[in-house]
Chains A and B, each alone.
Chain A
């Protein structure tokens, strides 16, 4: 099923990208060709295969590592907001949320 410009615009909305019309056109074509290539995977029967979501950190036999749920010191709001484009008194400032 070929990807359409409408699909691309919908994905851009989900991905929070304000694409120009030219970008949407070129992504439609490029994503179409990449997805066409990806179709190759359907040649394989994977009905009995388990999905692999990560490489086990300590080798094949180990359990996934968990840590104890304890509070440890963190950066603090001053250091955390220092790199922000707009911040005040340890808070991030953004344009209005409602009515946009």
Chain B
């Protein structure tokens, strides 16, 4: 059974008509996960509970009960979202044995809608990275070329969908961690507006930037998964009570008269020529469909990377203070006193990139430097947000490349943190501004690597964003699957 050719809604129809059983779909997914274990996309597989859930759905279908929106959909969860009793590592040694006592709201909502969760996916440690090479559980390989990275930090979630091990997965996106791996693996990846999906149970990295979103093989499925997850949650005070649109109906709208903004700052130095060509060709399709392409400007774009690496690391240094060997996870042995236990636990439990970011964030927040670094970054963040508000005065969506290059080789950027940070140059602005963005496959390089186009929407206007993406997806007809 080829999961990549099924949509969530078509599977639901087949289950309701008894054409297929959830149990056989689940077994097919579990076999595929096992068969492709060399890609290292999963940290844990929840086989028994998945089969149990599948049997429940089959019993409901047999009785003719109405099936919920995600009935039988095979889903995997990035390992930085907690699930009660299921080992959750966040890709870190420091949580090697952590079994959380509660479940993330987003995951709970998927389960309540009938999704079958088959496991927890690999990721960069605490979601810090752009290549998935920072996981304590090994690198993840790109199914289009296994000598290349899948992107990060949600690399395992992108690969699980690209290689047909799941129909949808959840990722988290603090600076591009859903959209960049979606682009590098040739799948759809959506980061909703900040506040659209509850962060309760998402292991915090940069709390003012983090957002949960789906990876899928189609825009239709992304709309469906978002519709289930979105909405106010009492357990996350930053979740919005704004009404949730009907995203699935929105994808049926056409794009005549839609204004597509093209910001010149996203097409400059550092952009791979083939990526540029595929993205520009995709934008022409919008014009052919009756949309209007307009030039816009996001003038402070070049400051986004430095702003991000101050704000995200400052927030991370606070958020990661909780890993001290007291309440959960790893504790260093043989410390004589409490303070030494803390610092040895953290020294042995965290990997190099996480330590580097904790150090940078601690520095940015330390006495004497706070105003010059963190305070300055918060002010420039305002300017970046204003850029988007100004641009959206003259357009409805914005189109840019998702990542400056296609998938790079394993090890290629591993020794140069700054070079690695620049691979998020087109995605981090959205997290700083809080606006939603989606990466859609838009073609391939001459070497056969996928290229993604990033579409950006107004705050809480995922409906227009998804409509634009669905129309472009249909016009492009990029239906190639990784041959694996």
B327 with A57: CB separation less than 8 A: no
The reply to whether B208 and A53 contact each other, CB–CB distance below 8 Å, is yes
* Mask: chain A, 17-52; 1 = CB below 8 Å from B; 0 = not: 111000100010011011101101110101001111
Pick from B37-45, B56-64, B339-347 the stretch touching chain A: B339-347
CB-contact partner of A96 in B102, B337, B343, under 8 A? B337
List the one stretch of B146-154, B217-225, B245-253, B381-389 in contact with chain A.
Answer: B381-389
Interface check A71, CB cutoff 8 A: no
> Does A57 contact B239, Cβ atoms closer than 8 Å?
yes
Q: How far is the CA of A44 from the CA of B327 in the complex (A)?
A: 43
Question: Quick check: is B471 within 8 A (CB to CB) of the other chain?
Answer: no
Mark A56-100 against chain B: 1 for CB-CB distance below 8 A, else 0: 111110000111000000010001111111100000101111011
Q: CB-defined interface of B68-111 with A at 8 Å, one 1/0 digit per residue?
A: 00000000000000000000000000000111111000000000
Chain B 199-250 interface residues, beta-carbon cutoff 8 Å to A: 208, 234, 237-242
**Stretch from B117-125, B174-182, B268-276, B354-362 contacting the other chain:** B354-362
Q: Is the CB of B375 within 8 A of A51?
A: yes
Contact A55 B433 (CB under 8 A): yes
Assembled-state Cα–Cα distance A11/B373 (Å): 15
Q: Does B307 count as interface, using CB distance less than 8 angstroms?
A: yes
Instruction: Judge whether B267 is part of the interface by a CB distance below 8 angstroms.
Output: no
**Cα–Cα, bound, A8→B376 (Å):** 21
Q: Do B434 and A55 touch (CB < 8 A)? A: yes
The closest CB in chain B to the CB of A93 belongs to B326
**Inter-chain contact A44/B383, CB cutoff 8 Å:** yes
Alpha-carbon distance A34/B341, docked complex (angstroms): 30
Q: Are B382 and A49 in contact (CB under 8 A)?
A: yes
Does the CB pair B355–A17 fall under 8 Å? yes
In the assembled complex, which residues on chain A have CB atoms less than 8 Å from the CB atom of B343? 16-18
Contacts of B406 in A (CB 8 A): none
B379–A51 touching, CB < 8 Å: yes
Pick from A52, A81, A85 the residue with the most CB of B within 10 Å: A52
Let me know if B135 is at the binding interface, CB within 8 A.
no
Distance in Å from the Cβ of A14 to the closest Cβ of chain B? Answer: 5
- In contact, A17 and B346 (Cβ under 8 angstroms): yes
Contact B303 A41 (CB under 8 A): yes
**Choice from B241, B310, B378 contacting A38 with Cβ under 8 Å:** B310
Q: Which residues of B contact A31 (CB under 8 A)?
A: 356, 359-360, 363
Task: Tell me the residues in window 1-20 of chain A with beta carbons closer than 8 Å to chain B beta carbons.
Answer: 3, 7-8, 11-12, 14-19
Q: Cβ of B237 and Cβ of A83 under 8 Å apart?
A: no
- Does any Cβ of A come within 8 Å of B67's Cβ? no
Interface contact tally, CB-CB below 8 A: 177
A17 and B359 in contact (CB under 8 A), knowing A52-B385, A60-B459, A92-B327? yes
Contact of A40 with B303 at beta-carbon distance under 8 Å, contacts A14-B366, A75-B101 already known: yes
Chain B 326-356 interface residues, beta-carbon cutoff 8 Å to A: 326-331, 335-344, 346-347, 350, 352, 355-356
Q: Is the interface of A mostly helix, strand, loop or mixed?
A: loop
Min CB gap B213→A, angstroms: 15
Cβ of B173 under 8 Å from chain A: no
A16 CA / B146 CA spacing, docked (Å)? 38
Distance (Å) between the CB of B239 and the closest chain A CB? 7
Q: Does B309 contact A (CB under 8 A)?
A: yes
- CB < 8 Å: which of A38, A80, A94 contacts B309? A38
Name B358-402 residues within 8 Å CB distance of A: 358-360, 362-363, 366, 373, 375-383, 385
Query: Which of B238, B240, B336 contacts A54 (CB under 8 A)?
Result: B238
Instruction: Provide the residues of chain B in CB contact with A51, threshold 8 Å.
Output: 375, 378-379, 381-382
Looking at the complex, which one of A27, A38, A55, A75 makes contact with B194 (CB distance below 8 Å)? A55
Also in contact, A41 and B377, with CB within 8 A (given A16-B342, A17-B347): yes
Verify A34–B238 contact, CB threshold 8 A: no
Can you list 29 residue pairs at the A/B interface with Cβ under 8 Å? A3-B363, A8-B359, A11-B359, A11-B363, A15-B317, A15-B358, A16-B343, A17-B346, A27-B356, A31-B356, A34-B417, A34-B421, A38-B309, A41-B377, A44-B380, A46-B383, A49-B380, A51-B378, A51-B381, A55-B194, A55-B385, A57-B194, A57-B240, A59-B459, A85-B325, A85-B330, A95-B338, A96-B336, A97-B338
Chain B interface (Cβ within 8 Å of chain A)?
97-102, 194-195, 208, 234, 237-242, 300, 302-303, 305-307, 309-310, 317, 321, 324-331, 335-344, 346-347, 350, 352, 355-356, 358-360, 362-363, 366, 373, 375-383, 385, 417-418, 421, 433-434, 459-460
Shortest beta-carbon contacts, A-B, top 4: A100-B337, A55-B434, A51-B378, A85-B331
Given contacts A11-B359, A52-B385, A82-B101, 16 further A-B contacts (CB under 8 A): A16-B346, A17-B347, A18-B340, A31-B356, A37-B305, A37-B418, A41-B380, A42-B376, A49-B382, A51-B382, A54-B238, A57-B194, A58-B241, A85-B325, A95-B341, A99-B337
